[in-house]
Amino acid sequence: MKSKRANVNIALLKYWGKKDQKINLPHQTSVSVTADIFYTRTNVEIDEKLIRDKVMLDGKELTGLQYTRVVQHLSTMREYFKRKEFCVVTSVNNVYVRAGYASSASSFAALTAAYVDAIGAKVNEKELSQIARLGSGSATRSIHGGFVVWHQGHDHESSFAEKLPIEWPEFRMLFTIIDPSVKRISSRIGMQITIEKAPSYDIYVRQSNDLVAPMIDALMKHEIDTVGRIAERSAELMRNVMLEAGLEYHTPMTQKVIQSIRSIRSKHRIPVYYTFDAGPNLILLTLDKHVDQVMKLLPDVKIQVSGVGGGISDADL
Ligand code: 2P0
């Protein structure tokens, strides 16, 4: 069965908060790198005989909240393209779903691309990223490969992702599996709680947006130390407002591994940095030539190494 493949992406500058929940309009511009090891493949078949959508995920028919979220995005796309027919969605994930790795990014990017393909609409990548955003914010960035900026914009038209003109094949992401259990509070809910409860949320937004130009500049120059330092700052700024709102996604083990990363950097002079999403697992940022040494220095941490991945592509399912 033919399908569309979308890879997960890791935000080097984080998106954490919506100005408009209906269209996932973010409070900040974010920058990401697309990973090549975790991805979703999705097929969509339009079926005029169906009276409701059918969604198969990893061999099981979806029900409940997950089903509702997929159907909401399908309904949004039907409205957008002025279509009526229901469809069968078949999707396979090879992502640590809901462990804090952005499975919704690859899922909604693949679903968007597969639906557009199924109805035969002619849509360019910019528009595809706008439509993917309506399903899940981070999905807007997974349309593209490489290093990507999601311009926050001020409405549907101006909020889209764009691939940056950066080739950096030596860049590596090391996905640690510190705690693979399902996270307690989804990002969607966590963001809302943060906006409502964190007193310094507005300051956070300004500090976050101030990092965009320096991050893009450092990526352009392949300066791993600057990229790593800014990525850590972005993640820690996000964590500070989460904590202000009473949200803690880290475990003691997360903090212990962060200390190890800092010590590897200072003692061994290895450029390795960390980032994290709304979960306990860290993603380490380094270069190809340092991967073996980093893994040797973290013998107790389960790690999966990823290079830089491509954008939406055709794949067999
Ligand atoms: C990011 N995260 O920039 C941030 C950092 C998690 C922490 O985007 O509600 O699943 O679907 O727009 O995209 C995860 O949030 O949230 C996310 P919705 P999403 O990668």
Encode pLDDT of 167-209 as tens digits.
999 999 999 999 877 667 999 999 999 999 999 999 999 999 9
Q: Give the list of residues 6+ apart from residue 262 with CB closer than 8 angstroms, or none.
A: none
Q: Under DSSP, is residue 278 helix (H, G, I), strand (E, B) or coil?
A: coil
For the stretch 2-48, pLDDT in tens is: 999 999 999 999 999 999 999 999 999 999 999 999 999 999 999 99
Helical (H) or strand (E) element with 39? strand 30-46
- The architecture of the domain spanning 3-167 is 2-Layer Sandwich (3.30)
Tell me, in angstroms, the distance from the centre of ligand 1 to residue 85's CA. 29
Instruction: Report the C-alpha gap between 105 and 256 in whole angstroms.
Output: 28
Q: What is the share, in percent, of the chain residues with pLDDT greater than 90? A: 93
Of 107, 136, 192, 212, the residue with max ligand 1 atoms within 8 A of its CB, to mutate for a pocket test, comes to: 136
- Indicate whether 96 pLDDT > 80: no
- Determine whether the shortest distance from the Cβ of 136 to ligand 1 is under 6 A: yes
pTM beyond 0.95: the answer is yes
Atom 8, ligand 1: residue with shortest CA distance: 138
Distance CA 157, CA 107 (A): 22
SS3 123: coil
Residue 16 CB–ligand 1 contact under 6 Å = yes
- Domain assignments of the chain as residue spans, ordered by start: 3-167, 171-306
Residues pairing with 176 in the sheet: 303
Name the token pair of 272: 């390795």
pLDDT of residue 101: 62
Phi, psi at 261, each rounded to 5°: -65, -45
How would DSSP label each residue in 124-180?
-HHHHHHHHHHH-TTHHHHTS-SEEEEE--SSTTT-EEEE-S---TTEEEEEE-S--
Fold of 171-306: Alpha-Beta Plaits (3.30.70)
What is the amino acid identity at position 144? H
Tens of pLDDT, residues 201-260: 999 999 999 999 999 999 999 999 999 999 999 999 999 999 999 999 999 999 999 999
Q: Mean pLDDT, to the nearest integer, of 67-89?
A: 98
3 state SS of 152: coil
The alpha helices in the chain, defined as continuous H runs, are: 64-81, 103-119, 125-135, 139-142, 187-197, 201-209, 212-220, 224-244, 252-268, 291-297
Q: What token pair was written down for 316?
A: 């067999």
Atom of ligand 1 nearest to the CA of 277: 7
Q: Is residue 278 within 6 Å of ligand 1 at its C-beta?
A: yes
Contact (Cβ atoms closer than 8 angstroms) between residue 131 and residue 112: yes
